Structure 1
Amino acid sequence: MAAPQLLQPNFHVKSSPTEEFEANSPRSISPHTNTEPAKPKYHPLFDSSEADIILSSSDRVWYRIHSFTLRNTSGFFGTLFSLPQPQSSRSCPSSAPFEEDSGVGGSSAEEEKEEEESASPIPTHEASEILTLFLLLLTGKPVPTISSWGSPACRAKLGDPCSSDPALSTSCDVIERVLSLAEMWDAPGPISYIRMGITSPTFLEKDPVRVYAMACHFGWDEARNLAAQHTLTIDLLREEEPTEPEKVIAEPRNPSESDTVDAGSTFASTPSAETAAASSIQRGLERLASKDLLVLLDLRKRRTDNFRMLLNSPVRFSAGNTPDYLCARCGVTQLDNQSWRLLKDALIFEMDRRPLGDQIVGKPVKGLGGADIMNLGAMEWPEAGPCWQARCTKEGCGGLNYDRVATLRQIAYCIDGLPLHIDDFRKC
């Protein structure tokens, strides 16, 4: 007895006469509804008549592919094809040969229709965009740049005949789906290709949390460390700003505006770049296991705690942290360190929010962050001005309480010495 099939082919079952009568009755058919199912289409990149396997996507795109390729690149199909299978379930329709004796060149329309209906594709329940990229990686064909996945240009280059899935709006969305399919089908080739691509600056700077989640899931130590370092440039705990269409309705109209108003524009609210980034961060955190999230938070906390300890050190910042410190010019007046304490609080708050510290020093920290060349760091903060302007209150002295250049240089030294690798704290 043959073993049961792991994947049920998409057979076409002919209805009984009674079912056909009920289906074609006037009460079952709407004059404005097309009851005929959408005709499947073969993907132009996978339409070889020599292939013996057909895969179908969830949006009815068919892919002809050789069973030898699937068997040797996917552990799932290697196991599937090792089981006894009905020959019809793995047959692939091919073009009819030219019949010289009959004088007919190719198959007729009726024969092509019967040939298509006799095909038994293996359903994958994946969108054509995902399945196309996966099969390109599996078969060794040219693949678009991984950073372009999910873009209209990439879909046009792939020649995808169907519309894209609305859920696949970013490159990371597509990458996660391709990785999920590769893991399910036990295909290490696509996984290794993506592993090399996600460590590019494009992904690490744009969406480090989701890269960190993928690296933790597959155990990619190098990618995990790089992604963890890049997460220090963002605020993980910021909340996504909710859209409030009510505010748009409450605003008074400008009488000078045209009376023709788009009905959808009143309630539409375009999310800002910050809102979209917060949403992406939230999705990435939701994908993390508890131990991986704790490792990430531990790195941030250690950097903040060490930075606070260094800022409070009387050795590094003697004028602001030494009790009863006297003015360096007159040597008589005790310094008022209120402005320095306010600046320290602002520095610690910023380090707790974005523990890399590039916004404090106004430049990259060990090659990370600092993309805004116009950012001067703590020099232009409101809390910094009173600190640099603080002077001795003794009449006739007026010496500066703090050396601005030396203080900023010491702050930069403190940030450069903070730990940067998660393996330093990984105990589990």
Structure 2
Amino acid sequence: MSTTALLPAAADYTDSSVTSSKTHPSFNDANADISLCSSEGTIFRTHSLSLSLASGWFRSMFSLPQCMSSHKLAVSSEIIHLAESSGVIAGLLSSSSGQPIPHLDSFEYVEELLYAAEKYDMPSVISIIRLAIMSPLLLDAHPIRVYGIASAWGWTAEAKLASTKTIGWDLLSSSAIKDLNTVDSRHLTALLLLHRRRRDMFRAGLDSPVLFYANAPCGRCPNCQKELVHVQWTHMKHVWSNAIEQSPAAVVSKSILQHQDVHQLLGTTCQDCAKKLYDPEGTVAKLNELMDRLPTVVEF
């Protein structure tokens, strides 16, 4: 069996006489004993010791039994071809060699880097990515994708925080559906159930005669006891019931309390005695209470 056949999958060797169009400026150490080549042909001159310390994959490769006694000496004259782009390889090496870590401001790049870090068994890079996805730049813009990654990796605290960040999202919007496709089915179900529980509890609360007297079977004016039909309350419930699905961010931020239908409701008066039908302070307090009781995090 040849020495190359003993190496872990995904590495390809060629003689160093094969010239490259460019060498990465941050990884061009004249004393390096290993050269990595990206998919575009960029060369990274680095050290086998640092690769062994950072990567279980490379550590295994360098510790394999050698079929030729001269192979260890020959390693320095070979180029290891990797399938990853130069940006990903630079990110892996920078994050694991004490150099400034790359800008992790693109979720596509973060996902590529995480996939490569898993492939090459580089726990330090994975730890950096675990911290990076919690940055507002990524978490606020892509909470569903962060939730998917954190759930898949068993990062429970991060997954719970990301699930909370999704509750203001309409999961049927085109951007949300695109991100939902990145979440595995088990964790996707849990996220959908969170949103379903919020919707059902919200609508049940709006219909509750305990919370809101306007839901009683025989509504009466609290002042003159004239029998009432709570038209404005029914209208507002309809608007709010739609909002929890179509505009959930308004419920999360409670900006829905500033909507015109709420102002119209609180200004409604009895046609007989002209007294206000709804106590503004009490009604708003109960609406706030209802929104505060809604679940905000996925249950694991």
Sequence identity (%): 31
The aligned amino acid for 1:282 is: I
1:49 aligned partner: 30
How far apart, CA to CA, are the structure 1 residues paired with 2:248 and 2:52?
48
Map 1:150-189 → 2, pairs under 5 A: 171-189=106-124
Q: TM-score, normalised to structure 2's length?
A: 0.89
Structure 2 regions of 5+ residues with no counterpart? none
Map 1:137-148 → 2, pairs under 5 A: 137-147=95-105
Matched, 1:328 2:263: no
The aligned amino acid for 1:404 is: P
Residue of structure 1 aligned with 2:232, choices 339, 351, 354 = 339
Matched, 1:8 2:9: no
2:133 aligned partner: 198
1:418 aligned partner: 294
Q: For the pair shown, which has the larger CA radius of gyration, 1 or 2?
A: 1
Task: Tell me: higher relative CO, structure 1 or 2? Use CA pairs within 8 A at least 6 residues apart.
Answer: 2
Instruction: Give yes or no for contact 2:219–2:228 (8 Å, CA) kept in 1.
Output: yes
2:87 aligned partner: 129
How far apart, CA to CA, are the structure 2 residues paired with 1:124 and 1:354?
46
Go from structure 1 to structure 2 and tell me whether the alpha carbon gap of 1:359 and 1:219 turns closer, same or farther (over 3 Å shift).
closer
1:62 aligned partner: 43
Instruction: Give yes or no for contact 1:304–1:355 (8 Å, CA) kept in 2.
Output: no
1:35 aligned partner: none
Instruction: Give yes or no for contact 1:335–1:401 (8 Å, CA) kept in 2.
Output: no
The aligned amino acid for 1:295 is: A
The aligned amino acid for 2:97 is: T
Deviations 1:53-90, CA, capped at 9 Å, x for gaps: 11111111110111111112211111111124534652
Q: TM-score, normalised to structure 1's length?
A: 0.64
Indicate the structure with greater helix content.
Answer: 2
How far apart, CA to CA, are the structure 2 residues paired with 1:354 and 1:123?
50
How much does 1:409 deviate?
A: 1.9
- Partner SS, residue 42 of structure 1: strand
How far apart, CA to CA, are the structure 2 residues paired with 1:401 and 1:71?
75
Worse-superposed segment, 121-130 or 172-181: 121-130
Deviations 1:73-109, CA, capped at 9 Å, x for gaps: 21111111112453465214xxxxxxxxxxxxxxxxx
2:244 aligned partner: 351
- Partner SS, residue 59 of structure 1: coil
Matched, 1:224 2:159: yes
1:159 aligned partner: none
Go from structure 1 to structure 2 and tell me whether the alpha carbon gap of 1:87 and 1:283 turns closer, same or farther (over 3 Å shift).
farther
- Partner SS, residue 121 of structure 1: strand
Indicate the structure with greater strand content.
Answer: 2
Go from structure 1 to structure 2 and tell me whether the alpha carbon gap of 1:210 and 1:283 turns closer, same or farther (over 3 Å shift).
same
Instruction: Give yes or no for contact 2:20–2:43 (8 Å, CA) kept in 1.
Output: no
Matched, 1:380 2:259: yes
How much does 1:146 deviate?
A: 3.1
- Partner SS, residue 83 of structure 1: coil
- Partner SS, residue 10 of structure 1: strand
Residue of structure 1 aligned with 2:189, choices 294, 298, 307 = 294
How much does 1:11 deviate?
A: 4.3
How much does 1:309 deviate?
A: 1.6
How much does 1:402 deviate?
A: 1.7
Q: Please report the RMSD computed on the Cα atoms of aligned residues, expressed in angstroms.
A: 2.2
How far apart, CA to CA, are the structure 1 residues paired with 2:74 and 2:36?
11
**Aligned positions, number:** 292
How much does 1:380 deviate?
A: 2.3
